Amino acid sequence: MGALTARRNDPEAITLWTRRIADCKNSGVSAQEWCEQNGINIKTYYYWHNKIHKIVSKQQSVFYEIPVTPGHHESAAATIRVGLFQADIYSGADAETIKAICQAMKTC
């Protein structure tokens, strides 16, 4: 496997391009214009767009039940970020709940 092939299957590259594609979609401009503004070849953009679409299409949806206990509003004790997802963890959260959140975020 060549270096280019390894790079294209690298999880960090996939995460980077997932963010870039989201940025493009949220920019309010066409993909062509966004690519020009960001110095990205439009063919490279669409290569990654299609690759990520195929990855997402192959994944099965997984649902985790996370119990919610009503409480008062307080600041998060920690924030977990995985890819494009973010979860705030509040004091008093048990280890199993945190583990379920992390597992759910990894599957997205």
5-33 pLDDT, tens digit each: 446 677 888 889 999 998 998 899 999 99
Domain check: are 26 and 38 in the same one? Answer: yes
Is residue 62 a contact partner of residue 107, using CB atoms and an 8 Å limit? yes
Whole domain around residue 25: which residue ranges?
Answer: 3-58
Domain check: are 105 and 87 in the same one? Answer: yes
CA–CA dist 5, 20 (Å, integer): 20
What type of residue is 96? E
Domain count, the chain: 2
Domain check: are 47 and 89 in the same one? Answer: no
- The whole-number pLDDT of residue 61 equals 57
Q: How many residues does the chain have?
A: 108
72: which 2 tokens? 């008062």
- The whole-number pLDDT of residue 81 equals 80
| Whole-structure pTM value | 0.50
Domain check: are 69 and 53 in the same one? Answer: no
Q: Which residue has the higher pLDDT, 63 or 46?
A: 46
Domain check: are 44 and 66 in the same one? Answer: no
